[in-house]
Chains A and B, each alone.
Chain A
């Protein structure tokens, strides 16, 4: 393997790890916010 193969491997691993966690955390927060909004609406209707 040439030196550039290791460099590309390092940068690819970085992007895959950071992107995967960013997608996970963003989607989880979005799902939670949607559920929170639904609960807020329901509470507003029952008030």
Chain B
């Protein structure tokens, strides 16, 4: 495997921009949610329940984006064999799991008063649940496999398979007759709600970037520490042998 991208001592540990990004994401999220509450008028059919869209839809979009990162980084790992791509895919996978679970929970909370049920085996809901199972499986696979190279290869394959499910989730509302409405995007949402939806999506994007960047930073440092320990053990073994 190509190991040219691995870290050696000294390990770069400073990342002040990440602290700034974290605070920026927090402020943006608070401001975006307040903005959504302030500007949106009650929907004709759903009333104020429409406001759930400002968290449910951005959470779903960002979960798709996190899966796209998993896909891209996994493909890069299989192509180039560089550890940094494996660590990036794993970092994005954790964020994808959190956001997919959040999307399902918010959809359930929204579904109860609008559809009358917490859950139904609708194509959109079921395909999203499958996506969650795959990404949880990806994380479980990583935690059960000790050999870093084997772990990276297997999880890259699972990550790519999981991400391939994303277009199916996205198109499910058009391909099958579903209880879920068609995709929410600026072309399908009432113009009165588009700006607030965009503002909330940007805030969620900052949160996602923070999650992935911070987790990736931790993963890189942890791996560098592990490698240093392995090298020391090897050196001690060579000296004693």
Contact = CB atoms under 8 A, between A and B. Distances in A.
Interface of A: 1, 3-4, 6-7, 9-11, 13-14, 17-18, 21-22, 25-26, 28-29, 31-33, 35-37, 39-40, 43-44
B22 A22 contact: yes
A37 B14 CA distance: 9
A13 B11 contact: no
B109 A26 contact: no
| Chain B interface main SS type | helix
Interface of B: 9-11, 13-15, 18, 22, 29, 33, 47-49, 51-52, 55-56, 59, 94-95, 98, 101-102, 105-106, 109-110, 112-113, 207, 210-211, 214-215, 217-218, 221-222, 224-225, 228
Contact of B102 (A9, A17, A37): A17
Given A4-B48, A35-B221, 18 more contacts: A1-B113, A3-B113, A6-B49, A6-B112, A9-B109, A10-B106, A18-B29, A18-B102, A21-B94, A25-B211, A26-B22, A28-B218, A29-B15, A29-B214, A32-B13, A32-B225, A33-B15, A39-B228
Contacts, number: 97
Nearest to A46: B9
B49 A18 contact: no
Nearest to B55: A14
Contacts of B211: 21-22, 25
Contact of A33 (B22, B49, B55, B221): B221
A39 B9 contact: yes
Nearest to B97: A21
Contacts of A9: 109
A17 B98 contact: yes
Nearest to A7: B51
Contacts of A3: 47-49, 113
| Chain A interface main SS type | helix
B216 to A, nearest CB: 9
A36 B221 contact: yes
B214 A25 contact: yes
27 contacts: A1-B113, A6-B110, A6-B113, A7-B48, A7-B49, A9-B109, A10-B52, A10-B55, A10-B56, A14-B59, A17-B98, A17-B105, A18-B98, A18-B207, A22-B207, A25-B94, A25-B218, A28-B218, A29-B18, A32-B225, A33-B13, A33-B14, A33-B217, A39-B11, A39-B225, A40-B9, A40-B10
Contact of B13 (A7, A40, A44): A40
Contacts of B207: 18, 22
